[in-house]
Amino acid sequence: MKKILYHITKPENVKCILIDGIKPPKGVTGVSLTDCPFVWLSILHDEGKIRKRVAIIEVRLPIDKYREMLTLEYGIEGKFLDFDYDPYTSGPKGEIVYYGTIPNKWITAVYYLEVPKIETYNVRR
């Protein structure tokens, strides 16, 4: 049985689910879900860590290569995805970085300033 990682919504508001091991399509938007046991996307901002919508632009590493390392525990090296906001790039750009045993692998992303409506799903381990 495939594990649901987090809910993503296409720009045309067509809902779909990101499944582990399956590369998400380019251009889909995603929402970080704090109650999801498999992934936590967070945006580093000057005012602190805040949850926002992100749009996945390109996936450089398949999800199934690091899915077993994901956790809700923020700050533990090797166990989370982190959206790093880079103020030196043009526009609101950043990257979702995997820290740990697979260095320098990341998912490129941009984020939007509006806070989306978050829908929760029951996720079985």
Q: Which of 2-16, 27-41, 75-89 has the highest mean pLDDT?
A: 2-16
On average, the pLDDT of the chain sits at 40
Residue 29 has pLDDT above 50, yes or no: no
Helix count (H) and strand count (E) of the chain? Answer: 0, 9
Residue 37 has pLDDT above 50, yes or no: no
CB within 8 Å of 32: residues ≥ 6 apart: 6, 39, 40, 41, 42, 51, 52, 54
pLDDT tens per residue, range 53-62: 444 443 344 4
d(CA 47, CA 116): 19
Q: Which DSSP string do the residues of 41-99 spell out, in sequence order?
A: --EEETTEEE--EEEEEEESS-GGGTGGG--S-TT-TTS-EEEEE-TTSSSSEEEEEE-
Would you say the pTM of this structure is higher than 0.85?
A: no
Please give the pLDDT value at position 124: 53
Radius of gyration of the chain (CA): 13
d(CA 117, CA 57): 21
Question: Quick one: average pLDDT of 73-94?
Answer: 39
Residue 77 has pLDDT above 50, yes or no: no
